[in-house]
Amino acid sequence: MNNSFFLNVDLDSTKFNDDINDVLNKKRLYFIVKWTQRGPIKFHKVNWKVKDGDWNAAIPTTINSTSGNIELLLGSFDAGTSITVSFRLEAFAQIPQIVAMIVQDNPGKILQRTPFSGFKNLANGDYWDETADADVLV
């Protein structure tokens, strides 16, 4: 996964400053999941796409985590872009509280939150399969 916004800015380019500003003006989006710490959660997929585009993988392999927090950089996008995130995770114990969000960090906004309010409860062996949409804000 490319986690640098500036990787594609070419030092040899005559438009270096413009390229830098272009990157800075884009909106950075993250997919964030928070859950009860020490609860074993397996992420089977976090895929995203721009409307009418192809799917991209935010994680190349499955992730096993008990940290209670995972933050995945989806990329940087122009304001107004429609993003769809498709995720699937699996509970390996009772998970009392879990929430997934699509977040924009400039300016800081929660674009999508699921569930919309409160937290979801997962029983052992439950899969959470969901598709969330968000529009990038100015």
Partner 1 sequence: MKRYLLILCLTLNLSSFAQDPSATFSTMSGNAPKPELFDDISFGGFDLVTANFKYSKDNTLQKVILSPFKLIPSANYASDVRLNFSQKDKISTFGVGFGFDNCNPFNKLSNRVDRKFKKMPQRPAQRNQNVNETNAQYKAYLDAFNQQANQDRVDYFKSLAENAFSFTVGYNISLFDIIGGDKVTDASGLVTNKYVTNAHSFSADLNYSVNEDLMFSVGAAYQRKRKSAAEDQKIVEYIGYNSSFSWRAFYLQNRANLLNNTEYVKNFFIPSILVGVSFESINANGDKLFYEDGYKYKNIWMPYLDFKITPTNQFRIGIPIQKYDTVNEHQTGLGPFLQYNLTLANKAG
Task: Give me the residues that bind partner 1 (CB under 8 A), please.
Answer: 36-40, 42-47, 49, 54-55, 57, 59-64, 66, 86, 88, 90, 92-94, 96-97, 121, 123-125
As measured in angstroms, the least distance from the Cβ of 113 to partner 1 is 18
Compare residues 53 and 80 and give the one whose CB is closer to partner 1: 53
d(CA 81, CA 56): 15
C-beta neighbour count of 42 within 10 angstroms: 14
**Quick one: 49 or 109, whose CB is closer to partner 1?**
49
Q: 21 vs 56, which CB is nearer to partner 1? A: 56
Coil, strand or helix at 74: strand
C-beta of 25 vs 94, nearer to partner 1: 94
Nearest approach in angstroms of CB 9 to partner 1 is 28
Separation between Cα atoms, residue 43 and residue 35, nearest integer Å: 13
Q: Based on CB atoms, which residue is closest to partner 1, 6 or 127?
A: 127
Region at 125 (left for phi over 0; alpha for psi -120 to 50; beta for the rest): left
- Please say whether the beta carbons of 87 and 46 come within 8 A: yes
Tokens 């413009």 sit on residue? 18
CB 25, min distance to partner 1, A: 29
User: Cβ 48 to partner 1, closest distance in Å?
Assistant: 10
Which tokens belong to 120? Answer: 């979801």
Smallest gap from Cβ 51 to partner 1, in A, equals 14
What span, in angstroms and rounded, lies between the C-alpha atoms of 49 and 122?
A: 26
